[in-house]
Structures are given as C-alpha cells and as structure tokens.
C-alpha cells in the first residue's frame, strides 16, 4: 500500500509563482532556424539588425509634384514639368531650378528636389507648365533611414514575433529567423475511472475531459505536445509513462492522483526530485497542485478535478510555459468588482471561475456556472478567475477582488 508524503507545507499563490520564476527562468530552450512566414508567435532567439537604412531612397509622402524649395517664392510660381515618377519608377538625373516632376505617393524623389507639393494646391496651365500657389508647411519627403538606420535593432532577442514583426522582417527581405524551439510537453492523465473515447458509460466511470483541456491549453501557449497518454491508477504504469517521456520533454504534466489517495505517487516523485517547488497550495480548488524540477524537466501534477485542473493550469503551468519562452504570463492581473455577494468561506483563498465585463471606470466580475472543483460546466464560459480571500466573513457585493483576465477567451 502507498504511504503518502506525511507532511506538506502549504504555500501561497504568490510564493508558488515566485518559486516558478526563480527556477524556471534558469532553464533554456534549444534554438532552430525557421521561415519567417511560419514564425507567428514564435520567440526570437537573437537580435535581428537592420542590414541597411530604411527607406533606402527618399520617398514622396503625397501625390503631387517634386521641386526645389529655392523656387518657392513670389507666388504664384510657374515651373516646367519634366517628367512623371509613378510608384516603382526611377528618375535618372537631378532636378534643377525651374523644374518640377509629377510624383506619386511612395515615389522616388529625384536628387536636387527637396520638397513635394500636394496635387491639390497646384494647377496645370498647359501640358507642361505647372502653377504652384502656396508654400507647403513640410517637405513631404520621407528621408533615407528615417525609419531604421543600418545596424538598428529591428527585433530584440526574446521578442514574441507577431504579424507586425513579420511585416517588418519582410520589409528587409529577411526570410529565415532563429527562434527558440517550442517547449515540448508530455501529458499523462491518470485514473482507473477514465473511459476511452467511444466507450459505453458505466457507473463509476467518466470520460477523460482534462486531457483535451490540458493539451489545448499547452498548444495555445506555444508548446508542442509530443506525448499524450491515459493510464490506469497504477504506480508502475505511471513510472513507465514518465520514463517514456523523459528523453523528449521539457515539461511533463500529470493529471489526477496528487492528493492523499493510495495511488497518489506524484508526491513521492516530487519528494525525490532535484527541486520541489510546491506540493500544497493555500488555495482552492487545486490545493494539491504539485510542481518540481528534476534533471532539467519541469513537472506539474495537476488535480484531477476539472475545475482545479483548469485553475492550476492558468495560475502555474501557463506562467511557467510563458517564462520558459522568456515571456510574461498572458493572464492580465487586475482588480475586479464583485457583482453579487459570495457566501461560502474557506481557510484558503478560493479562486472562482467567472466572467468579466468592462464598465466605464471599473471591471465587473461575477460567477459563471458552479464553483465546485469537480464541476466543469463553466470551463468554456469562464473569461476570468478571481480570488475570494480566506477567512470567516462572507464576501459582499461590491468587494474589490484580485482578478485574472484569461487570454484567448
């Protein structure tokens, strides 16, 4: 018979997250080179520098005429139109005093020209004679290197690249980029009560809902799930499943079997690990959420109760996965105003799954679905988590509570 780890030291949410920061920040991911076109939301592993100035030529900001500033006095001024520069065209000689050239937005401003006059403030007197009636406030020319100088940092190491960054790289014709490899994840869901998809429903058995939840959340957070297994409550099966994942995973997540039952062996593994981060939290649900680091692999033991599994993932696994990728958590921590009284009290801080609404000057939060940790009726609907502080008093409507707005919801 399994003997549970006798004493667990419960720590606060913040203390647990601090331990994650201290220990996960030391770990690094390998790098790889990929096409920029595949790089959305990947993390850049080196500074990317400008290979040249941008723009590379002086560009017109408007449709109009390019000319010499020195000609613009004693209005109206007449100038000879000596050419047309549509977007993409070159002009092979410098412009001289008395000349103007028709130019399009983004067009190449010829040498010698130092102002572009907007089309609206000009008039053609005949086929090649232009009349300009007023001075422009600005030169309307985008100068060489005014966006980036050669050697400027385009994207700094550890930046999460987004379509804006991809467009920036495209503007320098950078096609390949060095990024961190995606964190590799192994997921093991445990429980002799778990059916396989398609099985018949029988008393005592349930379908595995946490597996898809954890897998989806890992993928949402830039990780690659390289192992996904469901096993019965059997210490040997769990040991074998973990061994199988050890060579190929940065993070191993088990689900279920972390409390004090006869088969709860994650606690044992945690105790024998290089660094136990926590195996008891001052929060509900998910008080038994466990995390440890062993031989460079981060382990999480999430609770089997779906609500606890959901909460544990967002508060700890998401945090660690983002840190491993040198990024901040995507959960937005803020203060929410409770929209109705909450009566239950608890010796630990209680994290409720809820919904938020942004009002003019505050964020309103309220419950959605059930609050029991085995109730999964709100996992789709919840857009926020919020904290009911521990203690004996009920939490009145209007209380301002610590809230986390959930990403991708």
- Contacting residues toward ligand MOO, per CB under 6 A: 284-288, 303, 305, 308, 373
Build a one-symbol-per-residue string for 291-330: x at contacts with ligand LQZAQKY5 by CB under 6 A, - elsewhere.
------------xxxx-x----------------------
> From the list 95, 116, 269, 288, which residue makes contact with ligand LQZAQKY5 (rule: CB under 6 A)?
288
Measuring CA to CA, how many Å separate 259 from each of 115, 175, 197, 236, 268?
Answer: 75, 50, 26, 18, 11
Residue 135 structure tokens: 């001075």
Burial of 383 (0-12, 13-18, 19+ CB in 10 A): middle
Residue 101 or residue 288: which is nearer to ligand MOO going by CB?
288
Q: Determine, following the binding rule CB under 6 A, whether residue 229 of this chain makes contact with ligand LQZAQKY5.
A: no
The number of angstroms, rounded, from the C-alpha of 132 to the middle of its chain's C-alpha atoms is 52
Using CB distances below 5 to 8 A depending on partner kind, what does residue 186 bind out of ligand LQZAQKY5, ligand MOO, none?
none
CA dist., res. 245 & res. 254, Å (int): 11
> From the list 287, 311, 337, 403, which residue makes contact with ligand LQZAQKY5 (rule: CB under 6 A)?
287
Residue 18 dihedral angles phi and psi, to the nearest 5°: -65, -40
Using CB distances below 5 to 8 A depending on partner kind, what does residue 264 bind out of ligand MOO, ligand LQZAQKY5, none?
ligand LQZAQKY5
Q: Are 251 and 324 in contact (CB under 8 A)?
A: yes
Segment 237-266, which members bind ligand LQZAQKY5 (CB under 6 A)?
A: 255-261, 264
Residue 4 or residue 106: which is nearer to ligand MOO going by CB?
4
Residue 107 or residue 211: which is nearer to ligand LQZAQKY5 going by CB?
211
> From the list 64, 285, 336, 354, which residue makes contact with ligand LQZAQKY5 (rule: CB under 6 A)?
285
145: left (phi over 0), alpha (psi -120 to 50) or beta: left
Q: Are 263 and 270 in contact (CB under 8 A)?
A: no
Cβ 189 to ligand MOO, closest distance in Å?
16
Using CB distances below 5 to 8 A depending on partner kind, what does residue 369 bind out of ligand MOO, ligand LQZAQKY5, none?
none
Contacts of 287 (CB under 8 A, 6+ apart): 10, 280, 281, 303, 308, 348
Please give the radius of gyration of the chain, using alpha carbons only, rounded to the nearest integer.
Answer: 31
Residue 23 or residue 373: which is nearer to ligand LQZAQKY5 going by CB?
373
Task: Quote the longest CA-to-CA distance of the chain.
Answer: 102
Question: 154: closest CA among 170, 130, 141?
Answer: 170
CA dist., res. 259 & res. 306, Å (int): 14
Residue 12 or residue 246: which is nearer to ligand MOO going by CB?
12
What does the chain come to in residues? Answer: 409
CA dist., res. 335 & res. 319, Å (int): 19
Residue 209 or residue 383: which is nearer to ligand LQZAQKY5 going by CB?
209
Cβ 214 to ligand LQZAQKY5, closest distance in Å?
8
Question: What residues make contact with ligand LQZAQKY5 under the rule CB under 6 A?
Answer: 189, 191, 193-194, 206, 208-211, 255-261, 264, 285, 287-288, 303-306, 308, 373-374
């Amino acid at each position: 018979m399994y003997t549970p780890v006798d004493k667990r030291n419960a720590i606060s949410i913040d203390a647990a997250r601090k331990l994650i920061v201290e220990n996960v920040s030391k770990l690094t991911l390998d790098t790889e080179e990929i096409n920029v076109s595949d790089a959305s939301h990947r993390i850049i592993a080196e500074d990317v520098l400008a290979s040249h100035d941008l723009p590379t030529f002086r560009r017109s900001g408007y449709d109009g005429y390019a000319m010499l500033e020195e000609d613009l006095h004693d209005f109206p001024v007449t100038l000879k139109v000596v050419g047309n520069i549509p977007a993409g065209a070159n002009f092979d000689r410098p412009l001289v005093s008395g000349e103007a050239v028709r130019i399009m937005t983004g067009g190449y401003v010829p040498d010698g020209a130092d102002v572009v006059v907007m089309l609206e403030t000009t008039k053609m007197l005949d086929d090649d004679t232009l009349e300009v009636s007023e001075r422009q406030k600005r030169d309307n020319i985008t100068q060489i290197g005014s966006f980036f100088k050669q050697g400027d940092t385009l994207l700094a190491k550890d930046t999460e690249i987004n379509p804006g960054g991809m467009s920036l790289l495209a503007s320098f014709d950078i096609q390949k980029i060095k990024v961190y490899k995606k964190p590799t994840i192994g997921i093991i869901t445990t429980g002799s009560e778990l059916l396989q998809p398609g099985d018949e429903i029988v008393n005592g058995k349930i379908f595995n809902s946490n597996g898809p939840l954890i897998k989806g959340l890992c993928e949402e957070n830039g990780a690659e799930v390289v192992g996904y297994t469901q096993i019965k409550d059997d210490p040997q099966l769990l040991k074998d499943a973990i061994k199988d994942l050890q060579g190929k995973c940065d993070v191993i997540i088990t689900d279920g079997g972390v409390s004090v039952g006869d088969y709860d062996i994650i606690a044992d593994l945690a105790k024998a690990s290089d660094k136990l981060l926590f195996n008891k939290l001052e929060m509900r649900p998910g008080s038994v959420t466990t995390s440890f680091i062993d031989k460079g692999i981060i382990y999480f033991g999430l609770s089997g109760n779906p609500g606890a599994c959901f909460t544990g993932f967002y508060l700890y696994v998401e945090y660690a996965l983002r840190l491993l990728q040198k990024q901040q958590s995507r959960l937005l921590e803020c203060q929410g105003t409770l929209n109705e009284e909450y009566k239950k009290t608890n010796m630990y801080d209680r994290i409720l799954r809820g919904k938020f609404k942004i009002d003019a000057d505050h964020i309103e939060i309220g419950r959605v679905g059930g609050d029991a940790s085995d109730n999964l009726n709100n996992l789709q609907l919840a857009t926020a988590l919020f904290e009911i502080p521990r203690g004996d008093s009920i939490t009145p409507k209007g209380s301002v509570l610590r809230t986390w707005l959930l990403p991708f919801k």
